[in-house]
Amino acid sequence: MQVEKLDLPGLILLEPRVLGDERGFFFESYNRRRFFEATGLDPDFVQDNHSKSARGVLRGLHYQIRQPQGKLVRVVQGEVFDVAVDLRRASPGFGRWQGLVLSAANKRQLWIPPGFAHGFLTLSETAEFLYKTTDYYAPEHERCLAWNDPELGIEWPLQAPPLLSLKDQQGCALNDAEVFP
Say which amino acid occupies 157. P
- Active-site residue identified among 30, 131, 137, 141: 131
Q: Is 131 labeled as catalytic in the residue annotation?
A: yes
Distance CA 3, CA 24 (A): 24
Instruction: Write the CA distances from 163 to 7, 14, 45, 129, 171, integer angstroms.
Output: 29, 29, 30, 16, 14
- Active-site residue identified among 30, 50, 62, 63: 62
Distance CA 55, CA 33 (A): 36
Give the catalytic positions in this structure.
Answer: 62, 131
